[in-house]
Structure 1
Amino acid sequence: MQALNDARKLIERQPDGETARILSALVLALESEEIYPISDLYKLNYDDFGLALALLIEWRLDRYYTKKAVLLNLSSQVVQMGAASTKSPALAETGS
C-alpha cells in the first residue's frame, strides 16, 4: 500500500502545509464516510493530486489495513492543529 505510506511521509514532513491539510481532511472524510469537497483536490499540484487518487484506490481496496490506522491518527492530529491555529487569532483578540 504505497500511497498510504507516501501520504503519511508527506504529512509528517510538512504537517503545517496546505497539501498535508488537504490529504489529512481527505483521509478523515474517507474513514468517517463524511462528505469531502472534491474541489480541494484541485488545489494540489499534479503529483500530489495523483497521490490523492492513489490513496482513494488503496482505501477502497483495503479498508482495514494496519498502515491506514497510522495515517488516520496522523491526519487527525494535523486537522486538529489546523483548527487550533485558526482559533488562536480570535482568542487573542478577545483577550482569552
Structure 2
Amino acid sequence: MNAIKEARRYIERRPPEDPAARTLAALVLALETDRGFDLSSLYGLDYKSFDLAIEVLRDWRLDRYYAGKAKLFDISMQVHEAPAAEVSAEPASGTATTSSS
C-alpha cells in the first residue's frame, strides 16, 4: 500500500482530536497549500507515525498519486476543521477491525 493511501486510512481510523492524526493532517495541508509546517512536531510522533509522515513526504515529492492525494487532503481538511476538544461517542467511520495486507 502506498503512503498516501495508508495516511488517509490512518487519519480516518482515529478520532479528530488524536494528536498524531492532527499532526499528519497538518503536514498534508501544508504540503497541499504550500504553507509552513513545524517539523519539530514530527518528533512528537511515535516511530510508526513518524515513519509514515516521512513516507508521505517521499510520495508527495514524487507527485504520482493524484487521486489518493485528493482523498487524503479531504480527510485532512475535515480533521483540521474539527475542534480539537470534540469527542465523539461513536468511533470514526472506517474504524472496524480488519486485516490488511
Q: Which has the higher helix share?
A: 1
**Count of residues paired in the alignment:** 85
Q: Which residues of structure 2 form unaligned runs of 5+?
A: 87-101
**Residues in 2 aligned to 1:15 and 1:71: alpha-carbon distance in whole angstroms:** 15
Partner of 2:4: 4
* Partner residue in 2 for 1:13: 13
Distance 1:63 1:37 in 2: 25
Q: 1:52 to 1:9 in 2, by over 3 A?
A: same
How far 1:63 sits from its partner (Å)? 6.0
Residue equivalent to 1:54:
55
Q: Which residue of 2 aligns with 1:36?
A: 37
Matched, 1:79 2:80: yes
Where does structure 1 lack aligned partners over 5 or more consecutive residues?
86-96
TM norm structure 2: 0.77
Following the alignment from structure 2 to structure 1, what is the Cα–Cα distance between the partners of residues 84 and 45?
20
CA contact 1:8–1:74 (8 Å) conserved in 2: yes
TM-score normalised by the chain length of structure 1: 0.81
For residues 64 and 13 of structure 1, what CA distance do their matches in structure 2 show?
A: 21
Who is 2:71 aligned against?
70
When the two chains are superposed, the root-mean-square deviation of aligned CA atoms in Å is: 1.7
Bigger Rg, which one:
1
Do the aligned partners of 2:4 and 2:65 also contact (CA within 8 Å) in 1? no
State the distance in 2 between where 1:84 and 1:59 align.
Answer: 30
Relative contact order higher in (CA < 8 Å, ≥ 6 apart): 2
1:15/1:21 contact within 8 Å kept: no
